[in-house]
Chain A
Amino acid sequence: MDIDVKEIGKVTVVAPRGDVDMAVADDVRARLTQLVDRGRARLVLDLAAVMYIDSSGLGAVVAAMKHARAAGGDLKVCALEQDVRSVFEMTHLHTLLAVHATRQDAIAAWG
């Protein structure tokens, strides 16, 4: 899967492109986990280019969030398309992690 990674100061922005389903969820999880293990635990997951996410994808997001928090950081998400937002809302994930409207907002929230 095409996953764009940009380091902006102490914040790392991760932007997958395409559907985050069972076929690629492990790739997303591995990429995020590697970043945390390299000391990049302040994560922004930009989902602007993701039109579909399934339970496997959500599992990857949750696992990365837990991993980042255990390392003293966190994972914030941003730019959810309507269908992706709907899945986050159905599973209450939008209440358990920080959701921002834009990438700029998410980066700014790190201070």
Chain B
Amino acid sequence: MPTAVVRFTMTSEADQLVRMRSWLWTQLVGQALPLEACSACLVAAGEICNNVIKHAYAGEPGRPIALALRALDDRVVIEVEDEGTPYDPSGYTPPDLDAVPESGMGLFLVRRSVDEVEFDIARPRGTRWTLVKYRAKPAVTPPA
């Protein structure tokens, strides 16, 4: 049976973010994802949407942001798509946390919150982000 996908669309205003988080939280809790993992997904998806609003659309309102959620037996997959300026990975520098930065922590939080982060910029326009959160961490086998 194909995995069901649920979808959500918003536009690129910051005051839309709370609506996105409400939708995502409801969906994730409904998929029986542990609450800690639900919160982590909210952080990651929120930061991706922040980046889309701020960078891909450079603050321009009214542009589309589409989210899709797939729940699998062992993980959830969240996709975030925009039609703006594609993400440029060469522009990313991990923040120096000891320097107490006031910005640049968004993608760092994304990577710390979910297990896998991918982006697809080989598209006619925009970026598709894929975030994966496993329901449980694989057991670590201690060294013999």
Using CB atoms and an 8 Å cutoff, list the residues of chain A in contact with chain B: 19, 21-23, 52, 54-56, 58-59, 62-63, 65-66, 82-83, 86-87, 90-93, 96
CB neighbours of B47 from chain A (8 A): 54-55
Q: Are A22 and B105 in contact (CB under 8 A)?
A: no
Q: Are B21 and A19 in contact (CB under 8 A)?
A: yes
CB neighbours of B108 from chain A (8 A): 55, 90-91
Q: Are B109 and A87 in contact (CB under 8 A)?
A: yes
Chief secondary structure at chain B's binding surface: helix
Beyond A55-B109, A63-B102, A91-B105, is A83–B17 a contact (Cβ under 8 Å)?
no
Q: Please count the residue pairs between chain A and chain B whose beta carbons lie under 8 angstroms apart in the complex.
A: 66
Q: Are B39 and A54 in contact (CB under 8 A)?
A: no
| One of B14, B40, B50, B109 near A91 (C-beta < 8 A) | B109
0/1 interface trace, chain B 106-136, chain A, CB 8 Å (1 if under)? 1011001100000000000000000000000
CB neighbours of B86 from chain A (8 A): none
Q: Are A22 and B97 in contact (CB under 8 A)?
A: no
CB neighbours of A93 from chain B (8 A): 100
Looking at the assembled complex, report how far the CB atom of A58 sits from the nearest CB atom of chain B, in whole angstroms. 6
15 interchain pairs (CB within 8 A)? Answer: A21-B14, A21-B17, A22-B14, A22-B50, A23-B15, A54-B43, A54-B106, A55-B50, A55-B109, A56-B50, A62-B100, A86-B39, A91-B95, A91-B97, A91-B109
CB nearest neighbor in A for B14: A23
Q: Are B39 and A19 in contact (CB under 8 A)?
A: no
